[in-house]
Structure 1
Amino acid sequence: MRIAYVINTFEGGGAALPIPAIAGVFRRCGHDVHVAALSRRNGRAMPHLRRAGLDPVVLGADAAPIPRQLAGLDAWVRHVRPTHIWTSLTRATLLGQVVGAWRRIPVVSWQHNAFLRPANLALLRLMRERSRIWVGDSAYVTALTRGRLALPESRVMCWPIFRARTDMAPAPAWRPGEDVRIGSLGRLHASKGYDVLCRALVQLRAAPGLPPYRVTIGGEGAEHDRLRAFCQRHGLDNVHFAGYVEDTAAFLRQCHLYVQPSLYEGFCIAAHEAMNMGLPVIGSDVGEMGRSIVDGVTGWNLPPRQPGALARRLEAALRQPGLLAAMGQAARERVMHDFSTRAFSRAGCAILHRMAG
């Protein structure tokens, strides 16, 4: 097969970063893959793709109207001459479905998001027959997709988008006398709940007798200035905004505890990367994260949008920092079992087999 893989943008993080691993499965199964994005945005994922031997193609300008994006995608598909179109994220899926219908090319479509805008959900429901196979990027999103698009089980498959690495040593354990280093990775977007974390940290200051700790948030986005101003206004001088993090493994290796206060998630790759690094995770009980975190064993599940609950959990963790490493080891073992390289390849190959049938 010759697969034309199209995504919304080549922004860093999110659905673009797993593309090399996904394309690797395509290639190992004997198939050709070409990768394009409707627009570039910050393009931070492109070097990552090139290092994997891919040639990422940007189809249009960031502000291009939808008809122009559709024309650009159609021209690229005619140039690549694929046997299949594989789409990622809503806009690329809707446009890919149109081009697939025009060119009589079967379409396979990822579903990544737990939350869809009502208009996007209505369009996906309207176009659901235009994709031959729908692929959920987690068990959670797969079940959600079957329900919200009213699809039979035969049309929906699951391919967890995360592949645990066995070649990384776990993060060093906290030692007495050290600051407890708390980290988080994600876009600085309202959906990630960093305002909830900052409000929790304000409440946490009232807790007496805690060891020194600091919080580093890696990521960029529209909420940066507002979050930073909040921290300055409330004197949260132990909170640092690190900007975009290219080397997430190096970032996580400096942490003792990971926090993901998201309002909603699909898979949440960053939280699983933290578990892979041997960090316990305090995370919202949403998406696949709510399934992977075993409360009190690999981390702690909390309801989203509740800074008081998050502050209390952070306080409890900070009062016993010597227990964090053992819990992190349990988290590491869980993701290495559930999201092994073998399981990742097996799930991808099953979809490719269905596509070829």
Structure 2
Amino acid sequence: MKIIHVINSLATGGAETLVVDLATSMRSLGHDVKIVAIGRTRGVPLDVARARELRVNLLGRSTRDLGALLALRKSLRGADIVHVHLFPSLYLVPLVARGAVLHYTEHSTWNRRRDKRIFRVPDRFAYRKYSRIIAISEGVRKPLQKYLAKLGVHSSVAVVANGIGDAFFSSKLRRHRDVKPPLKLIAVGTLDNRKNFGDAIRAVAQCPLVQLTIVGVGPERDLLQNLIATLHVSDRIRLHGPSDDVAALMDQHHALLSTSRFEGFSLVAAEAMALGLPVIGPDVDGFNESVIDQTTGLLFDQSRGVPDIVETILELQANVGAFAEMSENALEHALKFQIQRAAESYLAIYADSLQD
């Protein structure tokens, strides 16, 4: 099959990383695969794609530029399958794609469009153009299916769990972990409101003998740096910036900490577990499908805020025996999230849609 993945950009992010890994796996399975990135923003996923010599077409256009539609239409010619990720690519591709079968993957449990009536007409138009709609978790599927019903779109939504790259399973860093003071936590993601790193900093500030490294870039960097200074914890909490080798950084820590307000799945959690790191994170739909509470990590009650995060961190720190067991369980559990499994599931969906 000739498959084209379309995404807003190849900036650093979970969906962008997934697209690069899917393209890599699908190519290895014998398919003709290309990635089309509409916007100008670039990040680690683009660097990885180029290192793997994937076919990438960077349109370098604003998603609000009408010229992007012409460039996008040209880039999609000859495809059997066009697989779209994220908004506004959701809207743009149906306007210009001709001849290909369209697929769309929903990556989030919620978006602002669903709360605004003005988006219902364009959402209805766009979703109806897709032969198959896929969610990355059951937590993503349920609210999406409910929203589609409200729109009068009667498509069923399949679930294909996210996959992580083969490097995490072949890595020498994949090993059993033990914990000893100080407990070293790592957090990874875009420094924005959704990732809620402020609560991570406030929580770790209240936990003696706990350190935190935050990996990523984003609009809240200065705000978070000021918070670290205000709480006088620069000796224990640092902003690392971006990294093209997150696995190596994870290897220097005991566990992953996530404080996301919502999460469709959590590639970072799956990556951490593949290396044997237990995960502390929110008990929210999507995230709690990737991390099993009391088995591969500990989940906190997001509604209780920072105090429950503190309590959960201290629980992990105090129970050495449980930590070792979680590390072993994490190594095993992560095998469910190998990228080839995800790629094969998508390929089966593509093949089925071509029979319609």
Check whether TM > 0.5: yes
Q: Provide the C-alpha distance between the structure 2 equivalents of 1:243 and 1:131, rounded to a whole number of angstroms.
A: 37
Q: Tell me whether 1:200 sits opposite 2:194 in the alignment.
A: no
Q: Provide the C-alpha distance between the structure 1 equivalents of 2:195 and 2:271, rounded to a whole number of angstroms.
A: 16
Q: Provide the C-alpha distance between the structure 1 equivalents of 2:12 and 2:255, rounded to a whole number of angstroms.
A: 23
- Give the drift of 1:147: 2.2
1:161-310 correspondence to structure 2 within 5 Å: 161-163=162-164, 165-168=168-171, 169-171=173-175, 173-174=177-178, 176=180, 178-202=181-205, 204-205=206-207, 210=208, 212-237=209-234, 238-304=236-302, 306-310=305-309
Query: Contact (CA 8 Å) 1:25, 1:349: kept in 2 or not?
Result: no
In structure 2, relative to structure 1, the CA distance for the partners of 1:152 and 1:52 (3 Å cut) is farther
Q: Deviations over 1:183-226 (max 9, x none)?
A: 11111010111111122233x25xxxx5x221101011001100
- Give the drift of 1:41: 0.6
Q: Provide the C-alpha distance between the structure 1 equivalents of 2:285 and 2:40, rounded to a whole number of angstroms.
A: 28
Query: Contact (CA 8 Å) 1:182, 1:255: kept in 2 or not?
Result: yes
Q: Give unpaired runs (5+ residues) of structure 2.
A: none
In structure 2, relative to structure 1, the CA distance for the partners of 1:355 and 1:297 (3 Å cut) is same
Query: Contact (CA 8 Å) 1:60, 1:72: kept in 2 or not?
Result: no
Query: Contact (CA 8 Å) 1:278, 1:325: kept in 2 or not?
Result: no
| Aligned equivalent of 2:44 | 44
Q: Provide the C-alpha distance between the structure 1 equivalents of 2:134 and 2:92, rounded to a whole number of angstroms.
A: 17
Q: Deviations over 1:142-174 (max 9, x none)?
A: 333222222546x42222222374323435634
1:116 pairs, out of 87, 111, 114, with 111
Query: Contact (CA 8 Å) 2:109, 2:143: kept in 1 or not?
Result: yes
Q: Provide the C-alpha distance between the structure 2 equivalents of 1:136 and 1:89, rounded to a whole number of angstroms.
A: 11
Q: Provide the C-alpha distance between the structure 2 equivalents of 1:324 and 1:198, rounded to a whole number of angstroms.
A: 22
In structure 2, relative to structure 1, the CA distance for the partners of 1:269 and 1:30 (3 Å cut) is same
- Give the drift of 1:65: 3.1
Supply the RMSD in Å over aligned alpha carbons: 2.3
Q: Give unpaired runs (5+ residues) of structure 1.
A: none
**Mean Cα deviation higher: 166-175 or 193-202:** 166-175
| Aligned equivalent of 1:145 | 144
| Aligned equivalent of 1:35 | 35
Query: Contact (CA 8 Å) 2:6, 2:35: kept in 1 or not?
Result: yes
- Give the drift of 1:116: 0.9
Q: TM-score, normalised to structure 2's length?
A: 0.88
- Give the drift of 1:250: 0.5
Query: Contact (CA 8 Å) 2:162, 2:339: kept in 1 or not?
Result: no
Q: Provide the C-alpha distance between the structure 1 equivalents of 2:246 and 2:107, rounded to a whole number of angstroms.
A: 21
Q: Provide the C-alpha distance between the structure 2 equivalents of 1:201 and 1:180, rounded to a whole number of angstroms.
A: 10
* Letter aligned with residue 100 of structure 2: I
Q: Provide the C-alpha distance between the structure 2 equivalents of 1:255 and 1:121, rounded to a whole number of angstroms.
A: 43
Q: Tell me whether 1:135 sits opposite 2:134 in the alignment.
A: yes
- Give the drift of 1:259: 0.7
What secondary structure sits across from 1:75 in the alignment? helix
Q: Provide the C-alpha distance between the structure 2 equivalents of 1:166 and 1:300, rounded to a whole number of angstroms.
A: 23
* Letter aligned with residue 278 of structure 1: G
- Give the drift of 1:351: 1.3
Q: Deviations over 1:70-109 (max 9, x none)?
A: 22212322xx422232111111121001112xx2432111
**Runs of 4+ that moved beyond 4 A:** none
